[in-house]
C-alpha cells in the first residue's frame, strides 16, 4: 500500500494539489522547507497549528478503516503513507510507515529531542523542555532527506510486493512516487485508486476511478 492525501480527503483533511488544495493558497516552498522555518518560525508554526487544529477534528473515513481491516486479513501487508495526519494509526493500522513524518510529533532543532505534542493551544513555536531550543514539526520538508531506516523498509516492501495499491496520491513528490515504479519494475501488479485517471506515462496495471472511501470498502468486500 502507498497512500497520499486523497485517502484522508473524505475525513475533511485538505489535499495539497488540485482544487481546494492547501498549496492553492500557499506556495509549498514558503512553508514546508527548513529555510522557511529558519526565516520565519512563527509563520510556519502557525500554519501547522492551523492544520493540527483542523486535523484534530477529523476522523478516519471508510478508506482508512478498510485498509486497517485488509491489514488484519492479509499476512505480509505493508502500509506506506505520505500523510502526516496520523489517521491510519487512529483507524487501527498497526505500523504505518509514515515516510513524511507525523505532525503530532515535534523535534528540537538544538538537541534533537523528539516527543509527541498533542496540545492545540500552541499558536507560537513551543520550546524544548530539555534545552529551551526551538521545536519544529517532526515532518519531512522539501529538500530534506527522509528517515533512512523508514525509507529502506519502504523500498523493501515495494520490491517484495506482489500487488501494490496506490491510493489518493498525485505521485509528484519524490522519492515516495518512485516506490510504485520500483514495485512495478520488481514485478508487482499495480492498482491505483484515484478520482482522476493516471497520467498515461504511469505504470499502473489497473486504475479504479472513484473515492477511496467507496472503492476500498468495495475491494475489501470482494477480497
Residue 21 contacts by C-beta under 8 Å, 6 or more apart in sequence? Answer: 5, 14, 15
Is residue 144 a contact residue for Zn ion (CB under 5 A)?
no
The item of ligand BV8, Zn ion, none sharing an interface with residue 108, based on CB under 5 to 8 Å by kind, is: Zn ion
Which lies closer to Zn ion via its Cβ, residue 120 or residue 130?
130
Is residue 187 a contact residue for ligand BV8 (CB under 6 A)?
no
Rounded to 5 degrees, what angle do the CA atoms 176, 180, 181 make? 105
Is residue 111 a contact residue for Zn ion (CB under 5 A)?
yes
CA distance 135 to 45: 9
The item of ligand BV8, Zn ion, none sharing an interface with residue 13, based on CB under 5 to 8 Å by kind, is: none
Task: Strands of 48-205 (E only): list them.
Answer: 80-81, 97-98, 101-108, 114-116, 135-139, 163-167, 189-194
Sole window of 37-45, 68-76, 78-86, 104-112 interacting with ligand BV8 (rule: CB under 6 A): 78-86
Residue with cell 515504479: 181
Rounded to 5 degrees, what angle do the CA atoms 138, 85, 27 make? 75
Among 43, 31, 9, which Cα is nearest to 125's? 43
Among 178, 44, 201, 185, which Cα is nearest to 123's? 44
Question: Is 56 part of the annotated catalytic residue set?
Answer: no
Q: Is 144 left (phi over 0), alpha (psi -120 to 50) or beta?
A: beta
- We find the least distance from the C-beta atom of residue 32 to ligand BV8, in angstroms, to be 5
CA distance 88 to 209: 21
- We find the least distance from the C-beta atom of residue 156 to ligand BV8, in angstroms, to be 19
- We find the least distance from the C-beta atom of residue 77 to Zn ion, in angstroms, to be 37
Is residue 154 a contact residue for ligand BV8 (CB under 6 A)?
no
- We find the least distance from the C-beta atom of residue 213 to ligand BV8, in angstroms, to be 6
Q: Total number of residues binding Zn ion (CB under 5 A)?
A: 8
Select from 44, 80, 84, 108 the one that contacts Zn ion (CB under 5 A). 108
Is residue 10 a contact residue for ligand BV8 (CB under 6 A)?
yes
Active site (catalytic) residues: 100
Q: Which residues bind ligand BV8 (CB under 6 A)?
A: 4-6, 9-10, 15-18, 21, 32, 82-84, 100, 139-145, 168-170, 172-175, 193-196, 211-212
Amino acid at each position: 500500500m502507498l497512500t497520499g492525501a486523497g485517502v484522508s480527503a473524505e475525513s475533511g483533511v485538505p489535499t495539497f494539489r488540485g482544487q481546494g488544495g492547501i498549496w492553492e493558497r500557499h506556495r509549498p516552498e514558503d512553508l514546508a522547507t527548513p529555510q522557511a522555518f529558519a526565516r520565519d518560525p512563527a509563520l510556519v508554526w502557525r500554519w501547522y497549528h492551523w492544520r493540527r487544529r483542523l486535523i484534530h477534528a477529523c476522523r478516519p473515513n471508510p478508506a482508512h478503516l478498510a485498509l486497517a481491516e485488509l491489514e488484519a486479513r492479509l499476512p505480509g501487508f505493508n502500509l506506506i503513507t505520505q500523510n502526516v495526519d496520523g489517521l491510519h494509526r487512529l483507524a487501527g493500522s498497526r505500523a504505518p510507515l509514515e515516510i513524511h513524518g507525523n505532525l503530532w510529533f515535534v523535534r528540537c532543532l538544538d538537541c534533537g529531542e523528539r516527543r509527541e505534542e498533542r496540545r492545540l493551544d500552541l499558536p507560537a513555536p513551543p520550546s524544548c523542555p530539555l534545552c529551551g531550543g526551538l521545536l519544529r514539526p517532526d515532518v519531512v520538508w522539501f529538500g530534506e532527506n527522509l528517515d533512512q531506516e523508514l525509507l529502506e523498509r519502504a523500498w523493501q516492501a515495494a520490491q517484495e510486493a506482489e500487488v501494490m495499491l496506490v491510493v489518493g496520491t498525485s505521485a509528484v513528490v519524490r522519492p515516495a512516487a518512485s516506490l510504485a515504479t520500483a514495485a512495478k519494475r520488481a514485478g508487482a501488479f499495480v492498482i491505483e485508486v484515484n478520482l482522476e485517471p493516471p497520467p498515461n506515462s504511469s505504470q499502473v496495471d489497473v486504475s479504479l476511478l472513484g473515492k477511496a472511501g467507496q472503492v476500498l470498502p468495495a475491494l475489501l468486500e470482494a477480497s
